[in-house]
Structure formats: structure tokens, C-alpha cells
Amino acid sequence: MTTDPRVERTRLHVLQQARELIAADGTGALTYTALAKRAQVTRPTLYRHWPTPTELLVDLVLQGGPTLYPYPGTDAPTVVRAFLRSLRDGMGDPALAGAFSALISAAEHDPTARSALHEVTQNRQAALNTLLAPSSVHIQPPELAQLSGAVLFQRFIARTDVTDAFIDEVTDRWWHARPEHRHDDEHP
């Protein structure tokens, strides 16, 4: 397959240069010409690896996405808190945040971007549920939307600091809104 050392070498190198370029001047400056110059690579090489800029963004997000997750075993709110913090910290990287937001925008009219977002969402939900398994808690899509949505809204739209206190409050609201908390305090 693609075990050629050359492709992996330039691929990783270019992706890293792309990250630094985004971090420095934003996704608007992520042009094939500029990237080729920065990465000391010719433009045709970039086109061979990523025929479309979207594919480049996808690689940046998918590779930068699976950051280290918290260790499982503790109670559910603790796991969720750690999960949201890792999401916040991940989006603290300007390169990942830039690529991610650009991908969201591209997804409006680009099926490739859409499926990449779908994959990211699935991966993160699956990872969270794996961590929650010992607690016998299973997150449903609406819950994930509320939890991750709150953090991402604060980060990308309200654009205020996503503090630990904010994450604690979001987690608490989620925990107390669970069905078994609504009318009694018992749980099997």
C-alpha cells in the first residue's frame, strides 16, 4: 500500500508545516503556493497528496484530533469533565482550531468535509462511551450535542475563555438532568 517511506515522510513534514502556517497567519494564508514554499516542496507534490484543499484540512483534523483521553474508571461526571477539558485543550491549538472551523464551513458544500466531521464526531462519542462504560453510563447524541456544543459554542462563537468552572457547571447541569435524578435520588 502506501508504506513508501517517501510519502509518509513528506506527508508528515508538510502537515506540520501547514500547522505552523495556520497558527501563524490563519487558514486564509494556507495556500498551496505558500505551503510549498514553506515546506520546501514543489506545488505538484502537494496536489499529488491532497488534490483538494479540503483533503488537507481533513488530514489536519483527523491527525490532530485523537489527543490523549483521560483514564477511565472513576465516576461519570469526572470522566465527562476530563473529556470536555480535553476538547477545550485540543481547540486551544490554533492550527487545529483553524482547520476544524474551516472544515465546518467547507462542510456546507463539500461532502468530503461532511464525512470527515461525521467521523470525528463518531470517534469522540465512541471514545467517551468507552470511558463511561465502567460507570454504566451511556451518552446519547443529544447529550453529546449539549456537552460538546456548550464548549464549542463558548470557544468559537461567544469566544470567551472556556474555564474549568464553565466545564464544571455544564457537567453538573448534564448530570442533574439525567432521568434518574429528576424525581428521585435512587439509582440501581
Partner DNA sequence: GCAAATATGATGCAGAACGTATCGTAAGAT
Partner DNA sequence: ATCTTACGATACGTTCTGCATCATATTTGC
Q: Is 3 among the residues that bind DNA (CB under 7 A)?
A: yes
CA terminus-to-terminus distance, the chain = 50
Q: Which does 42 bind (CB under 5 to 8 A by kind): a copy of itself, DNA, none?
A: DNA
Q: Is 44 among the residues that bind DNA (CB under 7 A)?
A: yes
List Cβ neighbours of 174 (8 Å cut-off, separation of 6 or more). 80, 143, 146, 147
Among 2, 3, 33, 160, binds a copy of itself (CB under 8 A): 160
Q: Which does 38 bind (CB under 5 to 8 A by kind): a copy of itself, DNA, none?
A: none
Q: Is 166 among the residues that bind a copy of itself (CB under 8 A)?
A: yes
Q: What's the angle, vertex CA 162, arms to CA 157 and CA 166, rounded to 5?
A: 115
Q: Is 71 exposed, middle or buried (0-12, 13-18, 19+ CB in 10 A)?
A: exposed
- For DNA, which is the closer residue by CB, 47 or 156? 47
Which listed range, 36-44, 75-83, 127-135, 173-181, lies at the site for a copy of itself (CB under 8 A)? Answer: 173-181
Enter the C-alpha cell of residue 143. Answer: 447529550
> What is the sign of the dihedral through the CA atoms of 120, 121, 127 and 130?
negative
CB 54 within 8 A of CB 110: yes
CB 80 within 8 A of CB 138: no
Q: Which of residues 50-79 bind a copy of itself (CB under 8 A)?
A: none
Binding letters toward a copy of itself, positions 86-115, x by CB under 8 A = --------x--xx--xx-xxxxxxx---x-
Q: Is 73 exposed, middle or buried (0-12, 13-18, 19+ CB in 10 A)?
A: exposed
Q: Is 25 among the residues that bind a copy of itself (CB under 8 A)?
A: yes
Closest separation in Å from C-beta 124 to DNA: 30
Enter the C-alpha cell of residue 162. Answer: 472556556
Q: Which residues bind a copy of itself (CB under 8 A)?
A: 25-28, 94, 97-98, 101-102, 104-110, 114, 117-118, 121, 141-146, 148-154, 156-160, 166, 169-170, 172-174, 176-177, 181-182
Q: Which residues bind DNA (CB under 7 A)?
A: 3-7, 9-11, 31-34, 40-45, 47-49, 51, 53
